[in-house]
Chains A and B, each alone.
Chain A
Amino acid sequence: ETGVTQTPRHLVMGMTNKKSLKCEQHLGHNAMYWYKQSAKKPLELMFVYSLEERVENNSVPSRFSPECPNSSHLFLHLHTLQPEDSALYLCASSQAFGSDLNEQFFGPGTRLTVL
């Protein structure tokens, strides 16, 4: 595997289900991100994990729960979702040292549909 991989690529779930999205980066990076991309809307940063910080977008509902067990893996746990949560969920990674600004590399995304 190379780059940033995400599984599953497609997910359909009911409002009462619990599921998890998985992201793995094979680039040796030390920062990982979750973004939400809804139709006709800008990418919205949800969470950032790096050696130095964990950042949460305060507008993200608590039904989304991130987990970052190490620098290569990132999960997004989903529970009691709403239909408006249907979107493309993108994972990204970057090299992060202090205040260096480095480009983020994105995975292909998980297309989530909540019924």
Chain B
Amino acid sequence: EDQVTQSPEALRLQEGESSSLNCSYTVSGLRGLFWYRQDPGKGPEFLFTLYSAGEEKEKERLKATLTKKESFLHITAPKPEDSATYLCAVCRSGSARQLTFGSGTQLTVLP
């Protein structure tokens, strides 16, 4: 059974204080790993897809990396508007539709 564990559950940062969120996964053949951002009262918003170990993707202050066992979402010099819950999900080989999600990391960036 596929498993995704995200840590920490919650993270409070001062504006400008860089940090990383972790997503550890166990899957029988990784097809792809997704990062989403979810604001309160809204659906998840797509950020990145990573396909193979060593791959990195960036978007503004966010950078996602992937190893064979985990993914990191690095946040550089965060701003209050980066406050949200960040979700990680994996898709196993042989399935292009079924995602297994982690419980998310709730990030709060204080001004």
How distant is B109 from chain A, measured CB to nearest CB, in Å?
21
> Which label, helix, strand, loop or mixed, suits the secondary structure of the B interface?
strand
Number of interface residues of A (CB under 8 A): 29
Q: Which of B41, B42, B89, B97 contacts A48 (CB 8 A)?
A: B97
Contact A42 B102 (CB under 8 A): yes
| Distance, CA A40 to CA B106, complexed state (A) | 11
Could you give, for residues 59-76 of chain B, a 1 whenever the CB lies within 8 Å of some chain A CB and a 0 otherwise?
A: 000000000000000000
Q: Which of B46, B51, B102, B103 contacts A103 (CB 8 A)?
A: B46
How distant is A98 from chain B, measured CB to nearest CB, in Å?
8
| Distance, CA A6 to CA B22, complexed state (A) | 31
Query: Count the A-B residue pairs with Cβ separation under 8 angstroms: how many?
Result: 60
Residues of A within 8 A of B34 (CB): 103-104
| Distance, CA A40 to CA B103, complexed state (A) | 7
| Distance, CA A107 to CA B44, complexed state (A) | 8
Any chain B CB within 8 A of the CB of A86?
Answer: no
Any chain A CB within 8 A of the CB of B99?
Answer: yes
Contact B41 A108 (CB under 8 A): yes
What residues make up the interface of A, taking CB atoms closer than 8 Å to B?
4, 31, 33, 40-45, 48, 50, 53, 55, 90, 92, 94, 96, 98-109
With A98-B96, A103-B46, A108-B41 already in contact, 14 other A-B pairs whose C-beta atoms are closer than 8 Å: A31-B97, A42-B101, A42-B104, A43-B87, A43-B101, A45-B99, A48-B98, A55-B98, A94-B97, A96-B96, A101-B91, A104-B34, A105-B46, A106-B36
